[in-house]
Amino acid sequence: MLKHMVSDNVMKKIALSFDVEEFDLPREFNSDIDDEEMYQISYYGCKKLLNLLDVPATFFVTANFAKKYPKLIKEISEKNEIGLHADEHKDNYEDMSCDEANEKLTKAKKEIEKIINKKIKGFRAPRFYPPDYKLLKKLGFEYDSSLNPCFIPGRYNNMFKKRKIHFNEGLKVIPASVYPVIRFPMTFLCFRFFNRFSLVYEKIGTVLNKEYVIMVLHPWDFMDLRKFKIPFFIKKNSGEVMYGVFKDYIKWCKNKGYGFTTMEKF
């Protein structure tokens, strides 16, 4: 009886997180996209996402995007957590001096806090390349979520980094969820890479993560990206397929009795 009560009380938590940014991916692959379209992709992606999202989530926003659409960000902040996703999405802290990073992050954090009228606690770096944790802590961040603890060819190999929530330089680090042991990623691409089988893939990963699941997605996942000159696996099944799989995933989590939470609550 006691065992039954205890297991009922331990509810798995799902933290959905979305990186809200100017869509500069084509530029990363040496193809052009005009400034206006770069913002609109994420703006309309947000609109689609908000249309289906009826659970709380965390949105990591660039200051650039927030200044362009302050009303939208304010609206999102009413039911969700807002974190910082850099000043500009092209910011790369590996090429930046500590002084420059300090200046840009201080400015960006203040600008978004002014829009939402709340303190920002969380940070996620563009492309998962975080600045110095000591700097983030000094700037008042409580956690960083710029770690995808798996191997992404051409990007990073984090196979041997910690998979669970931990502290580094006094800052709480909340890694994206992966499959335990084999470390298959569970981020945005996996939600659509395997067509309808993507849902099964995400369900298995969610079951295997016993206490909580941290999902990393983007509003632009919900837009049709086929016309852009970016690698096929990034544009594959964007838009409608993604929308369907993600909607079914939320429904499945609810049926399983999992709770949804924002990342600041960890």
Binding site for Zn ion (CB under 5 A): 19, 21, 126
Residue 245 Cβ vs Zn ion, minimum distance, rounded to whole Å: 20
- The rounded distance, in Å, linking the Cα atoms of 48 and 215 is 18
At its nearest, how many Å lie between Zn ion and the CB of residue 146? Answer: 10
Q: What is the DSSP string of 200-215?
A: HHHHHHHHHSSSEEEE
Tell me the three state secondary structure of residue 33.
coil
The residue at minimum Cβ distance from Zn ion is 19
CB closer to Zn ion out of 90 and 137: 90
Contact status, residue 187 vs residue 215, Cβ threshold 8 Å: yes
132, 98 in Cβ contact below 8 A? yes
Q: Which residue's CB is nearer to Zn ion, number 91 or number 199?
A: 91
Q: How far is CA 155 from CA 148, 150, 151, in A?
A: 11, 10, 8
Q: Is 132 exposed, middle or buried (0-12, 13-18, 19+ CB in 10 A)?
A: middle
| Least distance (Å) between residue 188 CB and Zn ion | 10
190: Cα separation from own chain's centroid:
13
Of residues 21 and 202, the one with the C-beta less far from Zn ion: 21
In the complex, the smallest distance separating the C-beta of residue 35 from Zn ion, rounded to whole angstroms, is 17
- Least CB distance to Zn ion at residue 89 (A): 6
Closest to Zn ion by CB, 148 vs 199, is 148
CB of residue 182 to Zn ion, shortest distance in Å: 25
Nearer residue to Zn ion within complex by CB, 156 or 252: 156
- C-beta closer to Zn ion: residue 127 or 258: 127
Question: C-beta of 220: minimal distance to Zn ion in Å?
Answer: 9
* Choice between 88 and 264, CB closer to Zn ion: 88
CA nearest to 265, candidates 214, 225, 227, 226? 214
E strand residue ranges, the chain: 13-20, 58-61, 81-84, 122-123, 143-144, 151-152, 156-157, 166-168, 171-173, 212-217, 259-260
C-alpha–C-alpha distance, residues 256 and 252, integer Å: 6
DSSP code for 166: E
